[in-house]
Amino acid sequence: MKQITTASIFLIVLIVLAMPIKGQNSEPVPTLAVPTLVPTIPAPETDSLLSTSAISDIQSSGTFRVGILFNDAPYGELNTRGQVRGFDAEFARLIAETWDVEIEFIQVTRQNVLERLNRGDVDAVFSAFIHHRDNDRLVEFSQTYLLGEQSMMVLADSEFEVPTTMINRPLGYVIGTRGEGAIQLWGQQLGLPLTTQFYVNLDRAYVALAQGEIDGVIAEEQALLQVSRNEPDLVRILERPVVIEPRAVAVRRQDANMRNLLNQTIQYLTNSGELEVLFSEFFPGQDFPSDIIYLWDGIGDEAPSLAQFPTDVQYPPQYATSRVFQSGVLRVAGIINLPESPSESDIRLDALNRNIVGEIARRWGVSAEIIPSTPEMGIDLINSGQADLVVGIQPSWRLTNLVDFTTPYLLHGDRLMAPFRSNIEGFNELRGQWIATMIGDDTARQRAQEWADSINATVNFYQTTETDAALTILEQDNADVVYANSLSLIPHLEANPNALRLTDRWYSRSYYGLATPRNDIDFRLLVDYTIQELIVDGTLERLSSSLILSDELPMFDIWPGPPEYAGITLSS
């Protein structure tokens, strides 16, 4: 065991005393009262409610005040020139530039960050919060823009290949860091005690690993790469992370306007390619995780501005969680009875939506009441207080002042379906060829033509029905490919597995999700966690298997944390 001097013990005691007792911040202010019979979430005290969004402060000052850690390389770090650098710092600068405002970096620590945010000293926080479920009680998060990893480093000649093989081995971590939280969370997930040893910094943990005092070190992957940069052949990082860390921007709780402004900016910078360029500067050789950044309908090519978003903060007239559990009924809009001769894709999508509603109600221990309506009609039903949830809605920027959107549960978009043995991989191979589009999809031909025009390709078009799409290629020889939404193509692939295939490229990506009352954060989180638990335990994959290929499941955003919320166990 590592020898610790009296001075070291004194230093460690000081560090421990300076740490918060729970989590990474000061004592959390709960918004959920643990229920006895049904979960209830009381409305916050009147004097704690926000009246104006942080957007108002940014507009009046012309400055985006960003709280950031100064010792969180490579995300945020104060360099020897007195400049704040790092991926998160540059990302914040890029956001401020998009909004045409100045930026001011304000140092925060893990001990004072919550106080400084809630007091209004900063407009948003980068790097100090990771989107763990425990932190949802304290702040509100933007969508995830980057996935960090708490990983395990071992010696290069170690026999160990995955973290689970290290359960009974001595493991090191740095006290007071997210590595400590990761090892605790990992132990909880495994349900097994771990043999651990803490160190005051990563350099000491690295030396202990090199000297054989421990068999592994758990820390943020980028930090592990940095500490071992002078001896890269001595160690290696196991491929599977111990804990995934979704990185998101934190704002004050129920500042839905600021959250939406950040989300639209994140999506805009992703769609324009600027965020990927920034990523490549800090993480060369790594793949940009674009799949984790969901682009909503209507993102467009124009940069969002502060003036597009309201500054007054509106609250729901009634909080849905209390209403649902007191009544025992979840009122769901967005599902209508199918017509007499529905398409196969409509039948499958309808079944998925109904099954998801059934799973949510079952896990909550309530009954589901379907209010027949289209998803668009469901928005009005939520705002009139007649529905709690809309299923089958496509997140859209046109609707963000009316409802909030949850974690999506289904990816779909434009694809090319081609003969299995053809050499067609995209529009380059379709010059002078025939493309079939489906009757009923009025803009499919225009969308396909735009892709052809982008490479100066001349193509021909033929119209078919969804029922005859496969025959159009395989038997009638009226077209070389079909360009259509993936949901319409999957049934044909199932019926002709050795004759048809999809090319690799997605020409568009859209999502189906759920809508909840606007700024009802606790109900939205309850729905989010439930959808994520459906993903984690494989239920969603099973339910959606008829609508997406098994090897093309999207990278869903999962926030680490317990499967319980408001006294309800959400796992299967």
Mean pLDDT for all residues in the chain: 89
Strand 63-68 and strand 140-141: pairing? unpaired
Same topology, domains 46-145+248-308 and 414-502? Answer is yes
Q: Check whether 300 has a pLDDT greater than 80.
A: yes
Q: Do 123 and 61 contact (CB within 8 A), yes or no?
A: no
Predicted confidence at residue 468, as pLDDT, reads 96
pLDDT single digits (tens) 435-459: 999 999 999 999 999 999 999 999 9
The CATH-assigned architecture of domain 414-502 is 3-Layer(aba) Sandwich (3.40)
Predicted confidence at residue 128, as pLDDT, reads 87
228-249 average pLDDT score: 92
Q: Do 59 and 96 contact (CB within 8 A), yes or no?
A: no
Domain ranges of the chain: 46-145+248-308, 147-245, 320-411+509-569, 414-502
pTM listed for this prediction: 0.86
- Distance between CA atoms of 413 and 297, rounded to whole angstroms? 12
Report the SS3 class of residue 460: strand
Q: Check whether 566 has a pLDDT greater than 80.
A: yes
Determine which helix (DSSP H) or strand (DSSP E) holds 90, and give its type and residue range. Answer: helix 87-99
Q: Give the Cα-Cα-Cα angle 73, 225, 4 (nearest 5 degrees).
A: 85
Q: Check whether 75 has a pLDDT greater than 70.
A: yes
Residue 335 vs residues 310, 331, 390: alpha-carbon distances, Å: 31, 11, 8
Asked if residue 163 has a cis previous peptide bond (ω within 30° of 0), the answer is: no
- Distance between CA atoms of 24 and 560, rounded to whole angstroms? 15
Predicted confidence at residue 477, as pLDDT, reads 94
Predicted confidence at residue 316, as pLDDT, reads 94
| Radius of gyration, CA atoms only, the chain | 26
Report the SS3 class of residue 346: helix
Q: Check whether 54 has a pLDDT greater than 70.
A: yes
Predicted confidence at residue 39, as pLDDT, reads 52
Q: Check whether 17 has a pLDDT greater than 60.
A: no
129-142 average pLDDT score: 94
Q: Do 416 and 553 contact (CB within 8 A), yes or no?
A: no
Given CATH 3.20.140.10, say whether it is the number of domain 147-245.
no
166-191 average pLDDT score: 86
Q: Do 552 and 545 contact (CB within 8 A), yes or no?
A: no
Share of the chain above pLDDT 70, in %: 92
Given CATH 3.40.190.10, say whether it is the number of domain 46-145+248-308.
yes
Identify the CATH homologous superfamily for domain 320-411+509-569.
Periplasmic binding protein-like II (3.40.190.10)
pLDDT single digits (tens) 508-559: 999 999 999 999 999 999 999 999 999 999 999 999 999 998 777 788 899 9
Predicted confidence at residue 530, as pLDDT, reads 97
Q: Give the Cα-Cα-Cα angle 480, 485, 486 (nearest 5 degrees).
A: 90
End-to-end CA distance of the chain: 42
Supply φ then ψ for residue 434, to 5 degrees: -105, 135
- Distance between CA atoms of 100 and 524, rounded to whole angstroms? 31
Predicted confidence at residue 45, as pLDDT, reads 40
Q: Which two tokens stand for residue 40?
A: 């209830």
Share of the chain above pLDDT 90, in %: 75
- Distance between CA atoms of 572 and 566, rounded to whole angstroms? 16
Beta-strand ranges (E) seen in 396-433 are: 403-405, 410-412, 414-419
Predicted confidence at residue 382, as pLDDT, reads 97
Q: Cα dihedral angle (359, 362, 365, 369), rounded to 10 degrees?
A: 80
Residue 252 vs residues 65, 93, 305, 373: alpha-carbon distances, Å: 13, 20, 20, 34
Predicted confidence at residue 24, as pLDDT, reads 37
pLDDT single digits (tens) 328-373: 999 999 999 998 889 999 999 999 999 999 999 999 999 999 999 9
Supply φ then ψ for residue 364, to 5 degrees: -85, -15
Q: Which of 22-26, 132-136, 452-456 has the lowest mean pLDDT?
A: 22-26
Report the SS3 class of residue 50: coil
118-130 average pLDDT score: 94
